[in-house]
Amino acid sequence: MSEANFLKNLSDEIYACAQCNYCRVCPTYKIEKWESVSPRGRLYLLKLMLNGSKIDSVMLKDFFKCTTCGLCENICIVDIPLLELWEKARNWLTKVKGPLPAHKKLADNIGIHMNIYGEDRNLRDAWFPDNVEISDSETLFFAGCTASYRVREIAESAVKIFSRFGIEFNYLGRDEVCCGSTLIRTGQKEKAERLVEKNIKIWERNGIERVITTCAGCYRTFALDYPRICEERGIDFNFEILHLSQFIEREAGKVIKDGMKAKLKGRATYHDPCHLGRHAGVYDEPRELIKASGLELVEMEHSRENSFCCGAGGGVRAQFRDLSLEIGKLRLEEALQLNVDYLISCCPFCKMHLSHSKKVSGLERNDKPEILDISEVVLKVLNENGF
């Protein structure tokens, strides 16, 4: 599609921007403080392009500094569907200009190894504990790339929880394929579509009806992007998609709350992953589980719909590492103000990035807050009770 035609289709949204700057809440803008990276600046750039201006490499990079966290959409006074707009624009810019180097690398890694990290596909299931059984259940546990290769304790905790509650589940091991979230977020939707088809075929072949994941990015992609892409491509999509926190709360929340006499002690705050919270509207289940574990839950200044991104999303961690860590530090500072023992999230990518942000903030591994995933919290309380 030509520049003019593509942008014309978005013209109503682009012109609707009131330039009110309420989107100054943008995490990237908070760090960089240049309007070219702010939502209103990016909309102004699109408006200029709509009127014939050409984008250069500096502006192209600025355009991709967005973590696609969606906070701008949440605050936008004229209700511009900004998340969708950023993704469409990124997709188009990538077609015209090619992906940014780190984003291309992600796609190459997936193309060769089926994971974003370029790790050996044969090691994808290396985290799987020996004493947990896989069945041919119609319920699939999808670990995702980050929990499979980088934050394995999350995947491990999840399947141990299933095992302790006697929940039968299937796991595809080395046959598990990246969900494609990063590709969609970085403007490489067409490449992601191949993964959609691949995953669906594997699921169908294994009789899967329900997919449970610990990863907020995978969840968002399966729950929101897959049905949309399938509809566009005329593919049936008949799967129930659940985040681990939803599933555990539904299946075992009451047991954890009332049946587990030994409770965890301490003060915790919850970081809403953008993909799970603002994008998909899952706010309560993780909080219920934290409370059920016995931890005192306190909220950060930015929570739920107004939650502040960890800084990793949208390909920012891959392409703009320093910026992403600076954003992560801002989030960490909010937790530090609350003097909490635990900063709990529901996403391996958030946990990994917040942990790295903690390290670059000069805090020691043992310093508070300890960064945990909800799966680890639930497993801790089960362990406390010898369950």
Partner 1 sequence: MEIMERFEIDVRRSFSHFSFHPFERRIYSHDISVLPSFVEKMVYSQADVIIQPRNVEEVKEILRLSKEYSKPIVPRGAATSGYGGVIPFNGGIVVDFSRMNGFEIDEDLKLVIAEPGAIWWDIQKAARKRGLSLRIYPTSAISSTVGGWIGQGGIGIGSTMFGDIKENVEWLRVLDFQGEKVVEGEDLRYYVGMEGTTGLIISSAVKLMDAAKEIPLAIEVESVGNALKVFGKTKPYSAILMSSEFFRLMNEVKGSDFKEKDTLVAVYLDEEPKIEGFKYEEASEIWKDRFYPLRIKKKGPSLVSVEILLPFEALEAFYGEARKLEIQHAIQTYFSRGEANVIVLIPSDEREKRFTQDWKKAFKLLKIGLKLGGKPYATGLYLSHLSKKVIQHFDDLLDFKRKVDPQNLLNPGKIFPKGRLPMMLKIAGLII
Min. distance of Cβ 77 from partner 1 in angstroms? 5
* Structure tokens that stand for 380 in this block: 């801790």
* Structure tokens that stand for 353 in this block: 């990035």
Residue 10 or 289: the one with the smaller Cβ distance to partner 1 is 10
- CA distance readout (Å), 260 to 122, 162, 253, 297: 38, 16, 10, 18
Considering only 7, 28, 39, 41, the residue that binds partner 1 (CB under 8 A) is: 41
Separation of alpha carbons 197 and 186, rounded Å: 19
How many residues touch partner 1 under the rule CB under 8 A: the total is 26
Separation of alpha carbons 118 and 102, rounded Å: 12
Beta bridge pairs of residue 170: 140
24 lines the binding site for partner 1 (CB under 8 A): yes
Min. distance of Cβ 145 from partner 1 in angstroms? 35
Min. distance of Cβ 97 from partner 1 in angstroms? 15
At position 361, the amino acid (one-letter code) is S
Residue 35 or 138: the one with the smaller Cβ distance to partner 1 is 35
Q: Let me know how long the chain is.
A: 387
At position 201, the amino acid (one-letter code) is K
337 lines the binding site for partner 1 (CB under 8 A): no
Long-range contacts of 192-201 (CB under 8 A, 24+ apart): 192/225, 192/229, 193/229, 193/233, 195/110, 196/225, 196/226, 196/229, 196/230, 196/233, 196/235, 197/233, 197/235, 199/226, 200/226, 200/230, 200/235, 200/237, 200/239
Q: What are phi and psi of 269, to 5 degrees?
A: -125, 160
Min. distance of Cβ 72 from partner 1 in angstroms? 12
12 lines the binding site for partner 1 (CB under 8 A): yes
20 lines the binding site for partner 1 (CB under 8 A): yes
Min. distance of Cβ 30 from partner 1 in angstroms? 10
- Report which of 84, 71, 87 is spatially closest to residue 28, judged by C-alpha positions: 71
Contacts (Cβ under 8 Å, ≥6 apart) of 226? 196, 199, 200, 237, 239, 241
165 lines the binding site for partner 1 (CB under 8 A): no
- For residues 119 to 138, the per-residue mask of contacts with partner 1, x marking binding by CB under 8 A and - elsewhere, is --------------------
Applying CB under 8 A, which part among 56-64, 143-151, 307-315, 378-386 lies near partner 1? 56-64
Considering only 1, 4, 9, 22, the residue that binds partner 1 (CB under 8 A) is: 22
Min. distance of Cβ 157 from partner 1 in angstroms? 38
Separation of alpha carbons 273 and 318, rounded Å: 18
Considering only 15, 108, 111, 284, the residue that binds partner 1 (CB under 8 A) is: 15
- For residues 66 to 105, the per-residue mask of contacts with partner 1, x marking binding by CB under 8 A and - elsewhere, is -----------xxx--------------------------
201 lines the binding site for partner 1 (CB under 8 A): no
Residue 56 or 108: the one with the smaller Cβ distance to partner 1 is 56
Beta bridge pairs of residue 213: 142, 243
Min. distance of Cβ 265 from partner 1 in angstroms? 29
Residues in touch with partner 1 (CB under 8 A): 11-13, 15-16, 18-22, 24, 33-36, 41, 44-45, 48, 53, 56, 58-59, 77-79
